Amino acid sequence: MIRTNWKVFEEDYYAINTTLQELLNNSNATSVILLDKTGQMISNIGEEPRFDMYSFASLCAADFEANAQLAKLIGEKDFSTLYHQGSNESMYLARVEQDIILVILFDKKTTLGLVRLRTKKAVDNLSTVILRLYGKLEYENEEYSTDFDEEFTAGAELEIDSLFSD
- The highest-level CATH class for domain 10-163 is alpha beta
Going from N- to C-terminal start, the domains of the chain cover 10-163
The CA–CA distances, whole Å, from 87 to 47, 59, 61, 91, 150 equal 19, 20, 23, 11, 63
What is the pLDDT of the chain when averaged over all its residues?
84
Reported as a pLDDT band with limits 50, 70 and 90, residue 133 is confident
User: How far is Cα 82 from Cα 70, in angstroms, rounded to an integer?
Assistant: 12
- Looking at residue 103, the DSSP 8-state letter turns out to be E
- Residue 155 identity: G
Per-residue pLDDT of 113-130, as tens digits, reads: 999 999 999 999 999 998
What is the mean predicted confidence (pLDDT) over 63-77?
A: 91
Convert 5-17 to b/e letters by CB count within 10 Å (16 or more is b). eeebeeeeeebbb
User: How far is Cα 89 from Cα 162, in angstroms, rounded to an integer?
Assistant: 65
Higher pLDDT, 159 or 110: 110
Per-residue pLDDT of 8-67, as tens digits, reads: 778 888 999 999 999 999 999 999 999 998 889 989 999 988 888 889 999 999 998 899
User: How far is Cα 12 from Cα 6, in angstroms, rounded to an integer?
Assistant: 12
Non-local (6+) Cβ contacts of 8 within 8 A are 16, 42, 133
What is the mean predicted confidence (pLDDT) over 66-81?
A: 90
Task: Look at residues 69, 126, 71, 70 and name the one whose alpha carbon lies nearest to residue 94.
Answer: 126
What is the reported pTM?
0.76
